[in-house]
C-alpha cells in the first residue's frame, strides 16, 4: 500500500491540510471511471450513481450510469463488485434508451410521510420496462437526476423529483421521503460521502439574507421552548451479528422517546469492510434496531450514515417527522494519513422545529498510552466535519455551530496506570467515583485538552470494556485488558437535561456493553402568529432602508506575510472586516482570466458572508502547501504571492496582498530529482533545485555526467529505520502517526541534520511519513504512461515484470526497493499481523490518477488480491 500517488479529483488543494496539518479531505472513488473503461471511444459516461434496485429476488445494488453514444442518451444499469474501480468490476445488466415514453417519477411513501434528507425512491419507465430504484439522498443524486431530465424528450414534462428548494417558511419542498420504520425499508448500502458539491440553485439575495438574519435576532419573540425526549445509544459490537432483541437497551424506559440516535462501532472487522466499505452487517443491525424500538410509538428512519464499521441511525416518531428538516450527513476518517475509515466519526445534523441538532458517532484510537492521539482525533473530527447548508451562499456549518450537539461512541479512553486487581476490587465494591478519578477522559477534559464545552453525566455503572464475549466476565485472554469506560455519551447545549445514563449488562454479544443516555431537550417551537408579526415588522423597517447609502467596510489589515512555510504545515493570518451603518454582503471574487479567487495553496474562511450594520467578522487566511502545489513551489515555477479581491455587493472592491517564502522540501519532488540530489534540499541553491526538478524524465542515466543515487536518500532513511525497528510492529500502515512527529521527520529529511533519522516515538509516524512521501510524488513509482499496460498485464507476473523493466531506471530501483521492503515485512507476519491482502488493499494513499495500485509482485491493478 502507498507506493503511488493519489489524485483527489476536484478537491481544493488547501482543504486537505487547512484545518489541521496532516488530514486530507475525505475521498470517495468516482465509479464513472470503471464504467468509462467498458465503453468505446465514441461513448461517454456522463454521471454514475449507486442505488438499490427492487428485483424478484429482493433488493440488489446497481450502478446507474447516464451514457451518451453517437448523439443518443441512455440509462444503463450495471451489476458490480463492491466499489467499482475498473471495467472488470462491472457487468452490464440492462439498457434503457432515453426517448419518447421514458420517465423518472418519484414514488411517494406510505402515509405521505415526508422527511427531508431521507433516500429517494424513483420509478424508471421506458417502453414496457418499469424499474423501482432507491437512491441515496444528496447533491450527487440530485445532479444525476437533473442530467437525466435534461435529456428527456423535448417538450415532455418529466415527473422526476424536483431539486430541493427552500420555501418561504423554511421547509424543503420536493425532498426525498421514506416509509415508516415499522414497514422495514431496507437501508441503502451507499455510505455518505465526504463533503459534497453544492447544487446549482438561484442565488440568495441581499434582502432575503437580511430578513433571515433579523428574524434570527428576534427568534425569542416568536418561539418558545418545548421539551422532547431523546434516546442516545452507543454499542461497539466487535464485528458480531445481532443475536436476540435489542429492547433491553433501546426500550428500557416506560415513556417512548421522541427521537432515537443509535450508534455502532466495529460493525464489521473484515478486510472487505475495511478496504471496500461494503458489509452485510449494516442491514442486519438496521433491522435489529428497527424491530427493537419502543413499542409504544411508531418511528420513521430519518437517516443512516456509515463509515466502514462506524454506523449512526436517526429515527423520529412519525407524528413529529414533519418538523424535521435540513438533514445532512458527513463522515471523517482519522485512520492512516487522516483518511482511512477504521477510525473516525460520522455525523447527522438536522433542524427540529427551529433548533439545530448535530449527532456525532466516533470511534477513536485504541490502547491506554494513545490518549494524545485520541485528543487529536477529536480535534480533527471537529475541524473537518463540515455540513453544506441547503441555501447557496451560506458558509459551511461546523459541529459546534448547532444549538445541541450529542456526541457518542467508543472513545477508547482508559484508566491511567491502574493495577488490574485494584480496579476489580473497586468495581466489586461499586466505588465508581474513586475509580473515575483515574479515567483519562475525565483527566483530559479537566485539563481542557479535549471536549471543551461538553458535559457528561455522572458515571454510576461499571466499566463497559473488556468482557469475554457471551458473558459478564472480565477479559481473561493473553492481553488481559484492564477494565475501562471506553463507551461514552457527552453533550453540549444550554437546553439539554440528562435524565439517565447507564450501561446494559443484558447484551452479551460483544466484548463491550452498550450504553444509553436519555435527555430532555428544550427545542425552539415557532408560534406562527408571533412569527408573522415579527416578519411583517422587519419587512416594514427594511422598506425604509431601501434608499440607504452604499455599504462600506474597514479592514484591520491588507498585507499578509507568511514566513518559512513548510510542507503540510498550516499557517494562518487573520484580519477583521468591520461594517458601517449599511448591511452588506461580501465575497472574495476571482480576478480577470482566473478561475478561483486565490492560488490553490490559500483559502479564506469564510470566503463570503453577510454583515449586519455596525457588526464585524474575522476572516482567516489559511495557507498550506500539499502534494498538488509543492512541486511548482520547489522548482520556483510558482511563488507564495497573490492578490485577493474582496467585493461588496453594491459597494467597492478591496485588494489584499499575500506573500511569503516556502522552504523547499523533498516532499513533492520527482524521484529522478531526488536521486540527483546528493545534499539535503534545504542546502541547495534555488537554481539547482529548479534545474533538477524541470529536468525531463530520463530512461538512461548515462545522459547525465554525475551518477545518481540508486534510490532517493530520503526514501532510504525512512525504509531503513522501519526495517530496523518496525518489522514486528502491529498495525503498521494502518494506524496514523502523530502530527508533531511527522513534522520532525520532514525537517530531518529536508535539512539532513542527522545522517540517519533520530529517535522517533512511534513507528507509525515514520510509516505515515513514508506514505505521504510516496503520495507527494508528481510522477508515481509506476509512471502514468505505463498505467494502461500495467492494467492489461495485471494477471501475468512475467508481463508485469516487463512493464516494470520499461520504467526509467530510478523508478525501477524505487519499485524493487519498496517491494523488497514489503517482502521483509511479510517475513514477520506472525508478529506484525500484516498479510498480502492488507498491503495490497486499495486505500486513498495508494491510488493515483485512474485508480492505480502497485503490489509487491509488480502487478499494477485495481482492487485485486495480491498474488504471491
- Render pLDDT for 674-707 as a digit per residue (tens, 0 to 9): 999 999 999 999 999 999 999 888 766 555 567 8
Query: What is residue 526's predicted lDDT score, i.e. its pLDDT?
Result: 94
The pLDDT value recorded for residue 18 is 33
In the chain, the largest separation of any two C-alpha atoms, in whole Å, equals: 85
Residue 189, pLDDT score: 30
**What is the reported pTM?**
0.66
From residue 511, give the alpha-carbon distance in Å to each of 238, 386, 471.
7, 33, 9
Amino acid 650: pLDDT: 83
What lies within 8 Å, CB to CB, of 693 at 6+ separation is: 631, 634, 635, 669, 670, 673
> Under a CB-based contact definition with an 8 Å cutoff, are residues 266 and 236 in contact?
yes
- Could you give the CA distance from residue 776 to residue 567 in angstroms, rounded to a whole number? 10
* pLDDT surpassing 60 at residue 766: yes
**Beta partners for 647?**
587, 653
Q: 845, 774 in Cβ contact below 8 A?
A: yes
pLDDT band at 206 (very low <50, low <70, confident <90, very high): low
Least reliable range by pLDDT among 78-87, 155-164, 645-654: 155-164
| pLDDT tier for residue 847 given thresholds of 50, 70 and 90 | very low
H or E segment at 519?
A: strand 515-526
User: Hey, what's the cell of 562?
Assistant: 507568511
List, for residues 463-480, the tens digit of each pLDDT value: 999 999 999 999 988 888
Q: What is the pLDDT of residues 221-245, one digit of tens each?
A: 999 999 999 999 999 999 999 999 9
Q: What is the pLDDT at residue 340? A: 66
Structure confidence at residue 336 (pLDDT): 72
Give 363's pLDDT tier (boundaries 50, 70, 90): very high
Where do the DSSP E strands lie in 237-334?
259-265, 299-307, 310-317, 324-333
Q: Calculate Rg over the CA atoms of the chain.
A: 28
Per-residue pLDDT of 339-362, as tens digits, reads: 666 789 999 999 999 999 999 999
Q: Encode pLDDT of 570-594 as tens digits.
A: 999 999 999 998 889 999 999 888 8
Assess whether pLDDT exceeds 70 at residue 380: yes
**Residue 752, CA atoms < 13 Å, CB-side half-sphere:** 14
Number of C-beta neighbours around residue 828 at 10 A: 15
Main-chain phi, psi angles of 467, to 5 degrees: -110, 155
Question: Residues 287, 280: contact at Cβ < 8 Å?
Answer: no
Q: What's the confidence (pLDDT) of residue 175? A: 31
Distance CA(1)–CA(471), nearest Å, equals 38
**622 within 8 A of 574, measured Cβ to Cβ:** no
Amino acid at each position: 500500500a502507498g507506493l503511488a500517488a493519489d489524485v483527489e479529483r476536484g478537491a481544493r488543494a488547501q482543504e486537505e491540510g487547512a484545518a489541521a496539518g496532516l488530514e486530507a479531505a475525505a475521498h470517495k472513488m468516482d465509479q464513472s471511471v470503471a464504467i468509462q473503461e467498458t465503453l468505446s471511444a465514441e461513448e461517454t459516461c456522463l454521471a454514475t450513481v449507486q442505488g438499490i434496485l427492487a428485483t424478484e429476488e429482493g433488493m440488489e445494488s446497481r450502478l446507474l450510469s447516464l451514457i451518451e453514444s453517437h448523439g443518443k442518451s441512455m440509462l444503463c444499469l450495471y451489476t458490480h463488485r463492491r466499489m467499482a474501480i475498473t471495467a472488470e468490476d462491472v457487468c452490464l445488466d440492462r439498457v434503457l434508451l432515453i426517448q419518447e415514453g421514458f420517465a423518472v417519477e418519484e414514488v411517494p411513501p406510505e402515509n405521505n410521510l415526508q422527511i427531508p434528507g431521507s433516500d429517494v425512491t424513483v420509478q424508471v419507465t421506458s417502453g414496457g420496462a418499469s424499474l423501482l430504484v432507491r437512491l441515496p439522498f444528496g447533491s450527487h443524486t440530485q445532479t444525476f437526476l437533473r442530467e437525466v431530465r435534461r435529456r428527456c424528450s423535448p417538450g415532455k414534462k418529466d415527473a422526476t423529483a424536483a431539486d430541493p428548494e427552500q420555501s418561504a417558511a423554511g421547509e424543503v419542498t420536493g425532498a426525498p421521503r421514506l416509509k415508516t420504520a415499522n414497514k422495514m425499508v431496507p437501508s441503502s448500502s451507499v455510505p455518505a460521502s465526504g463533503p459534497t458539491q453544492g447544487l446549482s440553485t438561484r442565488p440568495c439575495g441581499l434582502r432575503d439574507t437580511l430578513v433571515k438574519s433579523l428574524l434570527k435576532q428576534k427568534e425569542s419573540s416568536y418561539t418558545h421552548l418545548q421539551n422532547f425526549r431523546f434516546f442516545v445509544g452507543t454499542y461497539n459490537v466487535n464485528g458480531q451479528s445481532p443475536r436476540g432483541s435489542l429492547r433491553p437497551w433501546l426500550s428500557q424506559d416506560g415513556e417512548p422517546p421522541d427521537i432515537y440516535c443509535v450508534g455502532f462501532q466495529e460493525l464489521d472487522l473484515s478486510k472487505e469492510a475495511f478496504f471496500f466499505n461494503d458489509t452485510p452487517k449494516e442491514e442486519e443491525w438496521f433491522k435489529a434496531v428497527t424491530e427493537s424500538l419502543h413499542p409504544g410509538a411508531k418511528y420513521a428512519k430519518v437517516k443512516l450514515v456509515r463509515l466502514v464499521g462506524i454506523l449512526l441511525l436517526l429515527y423520529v416518531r412519525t407524528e413529529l417527522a414533519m418538523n424535521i428538516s435540513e438533514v445532512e450527513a458527513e463522515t471523517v476518517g482519522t485512520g492512516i494519513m487522516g483518511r482511512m475509515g477504521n477510525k473516525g466519526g460520522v455525523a447527522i445534523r438536522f433542524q427540529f422545529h427551529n433548533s439545530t441538532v448535530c449527532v456525532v458517532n466516533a470511534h477513536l484510537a485504541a490502547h491506554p498510552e494513545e490518549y494524545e492521539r485520541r485528543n487529536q482525533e477529536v480535534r480533527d473530527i471537529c475541524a473537518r466535519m463540515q455540513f453544506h447548508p441547503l441555501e447557496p451562499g451560506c458558509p459551511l456549518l461546523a459541529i459546534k455551530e448547532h444549538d445541541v450537539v450529542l456526541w457518542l461512541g467508543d472513545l477508547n479512553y482508559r484508566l491511567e496506570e491502574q493495577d488490574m486487581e485494584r480496579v476489580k476490587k473497586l468495581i466489586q465494591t461499586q466505588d465508581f467515583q474513586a475509580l473515575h478519578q483515574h479515567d483519562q477522559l475525565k483527566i483530559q477534559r479537566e485539563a481542557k485538552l479535549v471536549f471543551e464545552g461538553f458535559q457528561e453525566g455522572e458515571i454510576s455503572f461499571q466499566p463497559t470494556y473488556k468482557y469475554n464475549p457471551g458473558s459478564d466476565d472480565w477479559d481473561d485472554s493473553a492481553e488481559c485488558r484492564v477494565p475501562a469506560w471506553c463507551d461514552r455519551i457527552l453533550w453540549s447545549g444550554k437546553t439539554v437535561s440528562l435524565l439517565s445514563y447507564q450501561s446494559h449488562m443484558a447484551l452479551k454479544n460483544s466484548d463491550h456493553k452498550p450504553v444509553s443516555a436519555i435527555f430532555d431537550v428544550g427545542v425552539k417551537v415557532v408560534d406562527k402568529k408571533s412569527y408573522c408579526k415579527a416578519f411583517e415588522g422587519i419587512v416594514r423597517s427594511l422598506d425604509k432602508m431601501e434608499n440607504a447609502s452604499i455599504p462600506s467596510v474597514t479592514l484591520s489589515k491588507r498585507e499578509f506575510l507568511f514566513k518559512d512555510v513548510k510542507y503540510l504545515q498550516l499557517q494562518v493570518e487573520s484580519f477583521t472586516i468591520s461594517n458601517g451603518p449599511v448591511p452588506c454582503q461580501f465575497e472574495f471574487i476571482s480576478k480577470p482570466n482566473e478561475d478561483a479567487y486565490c492560488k490553490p495553496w490559500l483559502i479564506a474562511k469564510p470566503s463570503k458572508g453577510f454583515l449586519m450594520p455596525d457588526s464585524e467578522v474575522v476572516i482567516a487566511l489559511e495557507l498550506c502547501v500539499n502534494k498538488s502545489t509543492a512541486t511548482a513551489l520547489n522548482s520556483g515555477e510558482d511563488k507564495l504571492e497573490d492578490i485577493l479581491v474582496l467585493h461588496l455587493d453594491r459597494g467597492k472592491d478591496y485588494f489584499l496582498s499575500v506573500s511569503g517564502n516556502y522552504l523547499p522540501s523533498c516532499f513533492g519532488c520527482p524521484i529522478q530529482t531526488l536521486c540527483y540530489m546528493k545534499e539535503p534540499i534545504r542546502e541547495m541553491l534555488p537554481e539547482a533545485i529548479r534545474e533538477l526538478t524541470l529536468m525531463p524524465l530520463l530512461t538512461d542515466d548515462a545522459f547525465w555526467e554525475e551518477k545518481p543515487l540508486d534510490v532517493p536518500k530520503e526514501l532510504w532513511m525512512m525504509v531503513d529505520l522501519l526495517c530496523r525497528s518496525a518489522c514486528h510492529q502491529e498495525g503498521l500502515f494502518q494506524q496514523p502517526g502523530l502530527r508533531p512527529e511527522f513534522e520532525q521527520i520532514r525537517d530531518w529529511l529536508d535539512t539532513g541534520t542527522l545522517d540517519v533519522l533520530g529517535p522517533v516515538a512511534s513507528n507509525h509516524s515514520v510509516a505515515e511519513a513514508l506514505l505521504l512521501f510516496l503520495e507527494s510524488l508528481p510522477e508515481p513509482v509506476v509512471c502514468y504512461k505505463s498505467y494502461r499496460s500495467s492494467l492489461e498485464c495485471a494477471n501475468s507476473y512475467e508481463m508485469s515484470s516487463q512493464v516494470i523493466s520499461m520504467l526509467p531506471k530510478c523508478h525501477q530501483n524505487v519499485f524493487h526497493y519498496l517491494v523488497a521492503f514489503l517482502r521483509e515485512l511479510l517475513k514477520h507476519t506472525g508478529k506484525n499481523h500484516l498479510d498480502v491482502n492488507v498491503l495490497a488493499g486499495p486505500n486513498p494513499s495508494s491510488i493515483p490518477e485512474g485508480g492505480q495500485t502497485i503490489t509487491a509482485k509488480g502487478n499494477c491493478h485495481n482492487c485485486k488480491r495480491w498474488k504471491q
